[in-house]
Chains A and B, each alone.
Chain A
Amino acid sequence: MGVLSAFMKGITRLNDFVGRWIALLVFVMFAFLLLEVGFRYLFNSPTVWTNELTQLLFGVYAVMSGGYIMAHRGHVNVDLIHSHLAPRKRAFLDIITSVVFFIFTLALLWFGIDMARDSMSSWETSFSAWNPPIWPVKLAIPVGTGLLVLQGLVKLLEDIAIAFNLDYYRPSEQAEEEEEYL
């Protein structure tokens, strides 16, 4: 069972690492928008690249967030039934509904890979006036979705451990570790 624990910890760490770096993109987006306003208003010469680059970064920022948020239980749900259930029953329920989660994310992963591969076959650019490559942003879709799927797998393993009293995962340890990040 050591392998499972290591896998779960590893994936959560990975998502944390990625998330903490991607989160900083908000400063970059802010800086570029401000720069554009400055160029246009002060120098009367808008750039061709700031708004488009900001938008591309925003796409990466948004799609890469899935796994990190999953790791921190940030995807909101309705807890009407959840809040009345004992942890084991809740875990059972989550195991069942995870089927819907995997249907969505795996379909997205499949076609995300397809889309990214297609885009990379021609090193697709945006064909705007600035014409930057956009394949990296398309590539972010399967990467971000993949991270989400992996974190979903971690969540599933946790639920299985709770539901069946398996000892490769103890919820309390995890909870303490979570505290540090908040």
Chain B
Amino acid sequence: QETVTWKVQSHWPGSSSSYTDSLGRLKRVIEERTDGRLKLQLFEAGALFKAKDTFDAVSRGILEMGTISPSYAQDKMTLAGIASGLPFAFRHVWEAAYFHQNMGFEQMLRDEAAKYGVYWATDKVYPTEMVVKKPIKSWDDFTSLKIRSSGALQTFLTEAGAAASYIPGSELYSALDSGIVDGAHWGAAQGAYSMGLYEVAKYHVKPALNIAGTDVIIVSQKALDKLPEDMQKIVKQALDEQFWVRTNEYQYKERVTLAKAIAEQGVQINTLPDDVQAKLVKTAQGMWDEEGKRSEEAKKALGMLKEFLGNLGYL
């Protein structure tokens, strides 16, 4: 009986809960169900490839599997912008999950990735939330903030009137500590906790800046095709199931981590005042249309999203 080993490059550092919870789980499940015929060899973020090259490496078939954020594949995936989260679109995690799996957005992503020989499977949907040093009580509080941000959210926060700048992750803690920035987002509670941000920023801002499929597992189609049919099926099923297991588990761990931060480090939840929220939503909606302009698929996905949010009574 032949065993196959897949090299799997993560975009999470080893201390990140997702490294063990997502990749560790997938490894266990796949190895169990294939009776050890398929083994996953895990590598931490950056060990083999720069995170942004992982999609390329999987697409070329150099790596059999990897994890990414959709934003790392923006260059090729026109749907990536929508996948990594339009600000202030969904209000609950279940909505994003429903949109992905029951409205067909996940399939659209899979189809687009297939053009590059990549099998796309969203690992989970979850919120991105900010931590700040001083609570935001008014619109003026918000616009006077200096926030560490990146990617589309940086554009959004700047557009909305805050001063968003990019600072590399390795300097984030010091920057927050010394007051170079007053706020930052790094995932949500678990991300902030793992980076030690609660030590220096005590207010956890709700609601989320976005809720999206920010973590994705990608598989080389070439490697998948080489497996016997039963094993291909096992991998795909494990990935489908992974989405629901992880989305749910992540929600649970978010709450537990936030509770711990509140109890142990005196963190407080800072819910944005209604008028601030309303203004942010308005800015956000103005930006959504940009994403729809990238391709026919993106336009279609944006249309679907708007209809969905309309049905929920949000638009």
Contacts and interface: CB of A to CB of B under 8 A. Distances in A.
Interface of A: 36, 40, 44-48, 51-52, 118-119, 122, 124-125, 127-129
B163 A129 contact: no
Contact of B158 (A44, A119, A125, A129): A129
B155 interface: yes
B75 A128 contact: no
Interface in B151-194: 151-152, 154-155, 158, 163-167, 180
A128 B165 contact: no
By DSSP majority rule, is chain B's interface helix, strand, loop, or mixed?
mixed
B74 A47 contact: no
A124 B75 contact: yes
A106 B158 CA distance: 44
A40 B163 contact: yes
Contacts of A36: 165
10 contacts: A40-B165, A44-B146, A118-B56, A124-B75, A125-B75, A127-B151, A128-B151, A128-B154, A129-B152, A129-B155
Contacts of A40: 146, 163, 165, 180
A44 B165 CA distance: 11
Contacts of A125: 75
Contacts of A124: 75
Contacts of A122: 75-76
Given A47-B165, A127-B71, A129-B166, 4 more contacts: A46-B163, A48-B155, A129-B152, A129-B154
Contacts of A119: 75
A125 B81 CA distance: 14
B149 to A, nearest CB: 8
Contacts of A129: 149-152, 154-155, 158, 164, 166
A40 B144 CA distance: 12
A118 B150 CA distance: 24
A45 B166 contact: no
Contact of B154 (A44, A45, A48, A118): A48
A28 B167 CA distance: 19
A127 B163 contact: no
Nearest to A55: B168
Nearest to B165: A46
Contacts of B152: 129
Contacts of B151: 127-129
Contacts of A118: 56
A152 B158 CA distance: 48
